Amino acid sequence: MPQAVFDFNDQVVVVTGGSRGVGAGIVAAFLGAGASVVTCGRHEAEVEGATFVTADVRQPEQARQVIGAAVEKFGRLDVLVNNAGGSPQVMAEAASPRFFESVVALNLLAPFYCAQAAREAMAGQDSGGSIVNVGSISGLRPSPGTAAYGAAKAGLINLTSTLAVEWAPSVRVNCVSAGLLQTDAGDEHYGGPEGSARVAATVPLGRMGGVEDVASACLFLASSAAAFVTGANLVVHGGGEWPAYLTALAAPGEA
């Protein structure tokens, strides 16, 4: 987990989908920086140090309940991190309308519902507030096998910039577009440790990202160090992916 470089003492933070994976890392980072944290998920869970609310943020009223629980318990809301998201691998031709709608609801509509409720709480505070949307490089390049996910994340980047303009100056809104990540789910997706190692070799920095890399970006964007940053999309991807044409041009045996 990242060091507590940023000071969030006396601040209240909501992180959606914080019981496991990247979300758990973000929760731990804000707790380590001194924040009071509320998180949520569809299934009841224990998240050490945080208040957990069982909710499906794809439902507008349940998204509002999560924000309301934070305000009711702590009297304010300073930061919202829209982390809940994801999608199984399904090729576009096989994706049913119901599947497509469900993925878009989780990755685009849910962040809007949570942000809209959070804005109401933040706008009435002298200090305003900060919203960080966790996106993906799938929203910036083709996303074969996860078309709905990529389209939703592209929409989230646009939503971020629009809300930043509409809700300034009281509420800052930014996005973190995460690249290839080394997680348990990622290992499974890439075919195990050997597959993950081959994929990591395509990243210029020589490794895939970790949950701490995404968490650190969220801490920065939510902090006073980013006081003049809003409407930004911070891409955390280790330099991207090695261009395919360079591999194709490599001499035999050197690819």
Distance from C-alpha of 222 to C-alpha of 12, rounded to nearest angstrom: 11
Closest CA to 116 of 64, 160, 178: 64
Distance from C-alpha of 192 to C-alpha of 244, rounded to nearest angstrom: 22
Which residue in the list 113, 149, 190, 245 is annotated as catalytic? Answer: 149
Here the tokens at position 156 are 């989230």
- What are the Cα distances from residue 67, in Å, to 12, 80, 117? 11, 9, 7
Name residues whose C-beta falls within 8 Å of residue 177's C-beta, 6 or more positions apart in sequence: 135, 136, 137, 139, 140, 153, 157, 233, 234, 235, 236, 237
Here the tokens at position 195 are 């597959």
Residues in the chain: 255
H/E element, 129: strand 129-136
Give the orientation angle of helix 147-167 with respect to helix 97-104, to 10 degrees: 30
Q: Is 149 a catalytic residue?
A: yes
Catalytic residues: 149
